[in-house]
């Protein structure tokens, strides 16, 4: 981190191997970044449940007046389903959400958040956050 921004860091807290937080002082308010690496789609339901319980605890434990942002590898395909409006936008590369996507959407809904990475139009190549080694399959699984 550059010296220019180092003084803005209020706290770094590693929670576990999947979650950490970084609290930053901004000009008008503080920001808590919750950085995550969610379990994959194939992971068992119990592991996913524990992950989202821990994420909920971390989110609720962050300072109430901070702007809270969750970002990282959610391993979640967010679709364009109309029933999930206004939490998701129409700029996802996927048409339907997978189980991890539905979990992420439910989490966002319960906290009046949005999945902003699906809101802003961009070149398709910039929305792809994972690609297979054969160069054929691409997904958008990292979200803010």
For 89, the domain range is 3-143
DSSP the chain: --HHHHTTEEEEEE-SSSEEEEEEE-SSSEEEEEEEEPPPTTS-HHHHHHHHHHHHHHHHHS-TTSEEEEEEE--------GGGTTTS-S--S-SS--HHHHHHHHHHHHTT---GGGTS---HHHH--EE-TTSS-EE--EE-
Indicate the average pLDDT of the chain.
82
| pLDDT value for 78 | 77
pLDDT of residue 9: 93
CATH code of the domain covering residue 80: 3.60.10.10
* pLDDT confidence tier of residue 86, bands split at 50, 70 and 90: confident
Q: Which residue has the tokens 């439910």?
A: 106
Q: What is the model's pLDDT at position 62? A: 95
What pLDDT shows up at residue 5? 79
Mean pLDDT along residues 122-130? 53
Q: What is the pLDDT of residues 44-70, one digit of tens each?
A: 999 999 999 999 999 999 998 999 999
Domain count, the chain: 1
Predicted pLDDT of residue 10: 95
Which pLDDT band, with edges at 50, 70 and 90, does 79 fall under?
Answer: confident
| Out of 44-48, 86-90, 125-129, least confident range | 125-129
Share of the chain above pLDDT 70, in %: 76
- pLDDT, tens digit, for every residue of 8-49? 999 999 999 999 999 999 989 999 999 999 998 889 999 999
Edge-to-edge strand list for the sheet holding 142-143:
9-14, 19-25, 30-37, 67-73, 142-143
């Amino acid at each position: 981190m550059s010296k220019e921004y180092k003084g803005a860091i209020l706290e770094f807290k590693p929670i576990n191997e999947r979650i950490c937080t970084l609290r930053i002082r901004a000009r008008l308010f503080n920001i808590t970044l919750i950085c995550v690496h969610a379990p994959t789609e194939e992971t068992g339901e119990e592991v996913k449940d524990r992950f989202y319980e821990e994420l909920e605890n971390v989110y609720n434990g962050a300072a109430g007046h901070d702007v809270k942002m969750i970002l990282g590898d959610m391993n979640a395909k967010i679709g364009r389903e109309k029933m999930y409006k206004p939490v998701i936008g129409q700029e996802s590369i996927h048409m339907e959400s997978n189980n991890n996507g539905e979990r992420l959407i439910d989490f966002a809904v319960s906290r009046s958040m949005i999945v902003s990475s699906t809101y802003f139009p961009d070149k398709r190549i910039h929305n792809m956050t994972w690609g297979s080694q054969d160069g054929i399959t691409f997904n958008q699984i990292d979200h803010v």
